[in-house]
Structure 1
Amino acid sequence: MSQALTLARPYARAAFGAARDEGRVDAWSQALGFSAQVAADPRVAGLLSNPELGREQAVALLAPQGAEASFGRFLGLLAEAGRLPLLAEVAGLFEQLRAEEQRVVRATVTSATALSADELASLKAALKRRFGREVELETAVDAGLIGGAVIDAGDVVIDGSLKGKLARLQTALAG
């Protein structure tokens, strides 16, 4: 996976630069998301590795209807370089660059039970204070946490789950 990210990084940077220069970052984001989703389909993935697939065919297959001409050229560049299977990584890295530019932190909150709107608002405000940026929250429920929550904000993971606390206690007692 890290090799795929290494290979995808220059393409993501180039795509982001082109999108920013055009003032179309949101449109490129949507187009990349669409293309990555199409490329992830097992039937399409098999086609992408076929050497018989031409540049124009690949672009027609992956580009969303009404996509910018520059986006089509970008897909063509990926096709020529044999990098179309990296679309998911390119899209993910593009979104990271977009979040950094827009000073947004994306965080996933996994809790033992569904959080109320008030709890989410309070958590979002606390994370905004901590990171000094706007926060976009995604939520998930995992009853295996027993209680509490785990917040994953990229490089920062805050484990306030009962399961995590028990694991730390067990490690402390064993050591």
Structure 2
Amino acid sequence: MSAVAKRYARALFEVASENQTIDTTETELNQITDIIAQDAEFRAILTHPKITAAEKTDMLNTLFAGKVSETTLIFLGLVINRGREESFSDIAQNFTELANEVRGYADAIVTTAKSLTEEEAQAIAAQFGAKLNKKLRVTTKVDPSIIGGMMVRIGDRMYDGSIKGKLSRFTQQIKQAQV
């Protein structure tokens, strides 16, 4: 994530917080991000250097008028006028992170060697959530290469309780002891 995306997200978040529209703004940003990601032609137009900022802004106003709030439309225009179109998805992601922090939510990615049941995922969310004093939303991944145990990523922190990780740490300790 770029520092620029964080600044833009923080500025929009402050406006949305002031207007008490954090949830609505987050939904709108995610919808726009999805459209940009799914529609290659729209993305090409939005990032094309020969299309002026005014033309891009007019196009967005036509497309999204009445579908998103005026605050979001103005913000889109600002992003385009500043030439930051390619940072839009990062801005939206940063906005969501800020909103989650205020709500006391965190996203966790739990990687295991075999798939987890819903109950197991909820138990992991409860355990880590209690330690972090947050409500965790868990996404599970299966990676047989970790052999057993689990790896949990919450934000930029990684908790590695996998057998693969333990073997790796054990190998490092042996190498250091031999020196």
Provide the TM-score with structure 1 as the length reference.
Answer: 0.88
Please state whether the residue corresponding to 1:66 is helix, strand or coil.
coil
Partner of 2:115: 114
Aligned length: 171
Partner of 1:57: 59
- Compare CA radii of gyration and give the structure with the larger one: 2
Partner of 1:154: 155
Please state whether the residue corresponding to 1:105 is helix, strand or coil.
strand
Alignment-mate amino acid for residue 158 of structure 1: Y
Please state whether the residue corresponding to 1:113 is helix, strand or coil.
coil
Alignment-mate amino acid for residue 80 of structure 1: N
RMSD of Structure 2 on Structure 1 (CA)? 1.9
* Structure 2 counterpart of 1:40, from 16, 34, 37: 37
Cα distance in structure 2, aligned partners of 1:112 and 1:29? 34
Q: Contact conserved, 1:45 with 1:85, CA < 8 A, in 2?
A: no
Q: Contact conserved, 2:65 with 2:73, CA < 8 A, in 1?
A: no
The Cα offsets for residues 48-88 of structure 1, whole Å up to 9 and x where unpaired, read as: 22231411114445x48621121111101111111111011
Greater Cα offset, 49-58 or 135-144: 49-58
Partner of 1:85: 86
Which segments of 5 or more consecutive residues in structure 1 lack a partner in the other structure? none
Partner of 2:13: 16
Cα distance in structure 2, aligned partners of 1:64 and 1:152? 38
Please state whether the residue corresponding to 1:85 is helix, strand or coil.
helix
**CA drift at 1:150:** 0.6
Please state whether the residue corresponding to 2:72 is helix, strand or coil.
helix
Cα distance in structure 1, aligned partners of 2:12 and 2:83? 16
Cα distance in structure 1, aligned partners of 2:85 and 2:67? 20
Which segments of 5 or more consecutive residues in structure 2 lack a partner in the other structure? none
Cα distance in structure 2, aligned partners of 1:21 and 1:116? 40
Structure 1 residue runs of 4 or more that deviate by more than 6 Å after TM superposition: none
Alignment-mate amino acid for residue 40 of structure 1: A
Matched residues, percent identical? 26
The Cα offsets for residues 1-22 of structure 1, whole Å up to 9 and x where unpaired, read as: x5xx111112101211122222
Cα distance in structure 2, aligned partners of 1:114 and 1:64? 44
Alignment-mate amino acid for residue 43 of structure 2: A
